[in-house]
Structure 1
Amino acid sequence: MDSKTVKKYLGEYRKINEEKKYSIDLDRLQQYKKEIISGIKQYPYISRTTLREIFKKQYIFLYRHDKEWLMENLPPKQKKHLFTKTVNWTNRDNVYVREIKLLHKQLLERQQPIRITVSTIGRELGILANLQHHLDKLPNTKSLLEEITEDIQEYQLRRCYKIINRMLLEKVAITLWKVQRNAGIKSVCFQKIKPLLELYKEKIINRSK
């Protein structure tokens, strides 16, 4: 086979692959657009930040390949909700509960743990003003926040549990001094949670046998 024939078939092969890739990208583009629109309809008060966290791969792909469409279809930037007589607080309460549950799941799954507080949730969802000033009008939201928010010690424990789980998964010897070092917790604070970590360590090691 001469060089011209080789170049001809190589060119055709590349063209087919490019067309195939382009077709797949178009299909993915349309699918991701549908998923973004569906998410916005399902959670009408969702913030841009939360939408980006929930639909991370879709958001990144659309940002790279059709940024104009993405910017036009994102939820409007949220402003502070001001109290007016026309606000339906019952409806807003129910919406907040759904969005906070969704965000809470996302926060727990983050690679880099972040302490779950009212301020964290309020800033992420763009509803901090209402959580700070009108929580008495949002009883279900208030109850949920009391259940899921963390004090410093609870946050430290969750960070350590995550590290212990990772060490077990990676089959690394679980020593608490390494856990403390990786979590970046001062010794005086670590001593307070050490007995709970010992119990947790024994529990997951026994469970893995």
Structure 2
Amino acid sequence: MNSKTKMQNFFDSKYENIQYIEKYEENIEFFNNLLKNGHKEDIEFVIPIKMYHYADPLNQTGNYSKALTVLNEIEEDIEKLKGQSKRYNQFLESVTFLKGVCLARLKKYKESNKEFTKILKKNPTNDRYINWYKSNKKNEIDRLFWIFLILGLGYYLLVLILQFSGLKIENVILREIGSAIALLSIVGSFAWKKLIDKQILKLK
């Protein structure tokens, strides 16, 4: 049984994510050599293992930055197959999806949606891609409204402190503007996210 067969048998078997990561890293020189030699069959052999049993487990175990680095490497590896392999488009779509997921988990929502936009243009009805895209949009909204919520609550607490210290604020607008901003932030965030859920994506 040659090395490639042994590796294929291992990665085709059911293991924990950490075991896949450790096995790949123990044999990283072997896999890198196969990628460097440029043979289509060797690249097609390594890419699924590197993508699904190394980069994805890194992502699943919270090693997002490392996973993103590996996914960028895989993108370069896939380009070697352009015009040579029928699996090129499949590999490219998969790595783009995983990059989008990884960037979302790093809270880089705009960058993540750039990746999802690429694959949604080709697969506009894919629910999985649509859900990730919309989730990123909602997280961006949350981030924006969270700032207003904090500012509103901060102002409201400041007014309370001033009132407890004996300084009365007679102007109703000045007194209540903080709570109004906080309330509008909550309502605005909820309403905007509902609109995103109902939105039919039209990607340029």
> In which range does the TM-score fall when normalised by the shorter chain?
0.3 to 0.5
Q: Which of the pair has the greater relative contact order for Cα pairs under 8 Å at 6+ separation? A: 1
When normalised by structure 1's length, the TM-score is 0.32
Relative to the length of structure 2, the TM-score reads 0.33
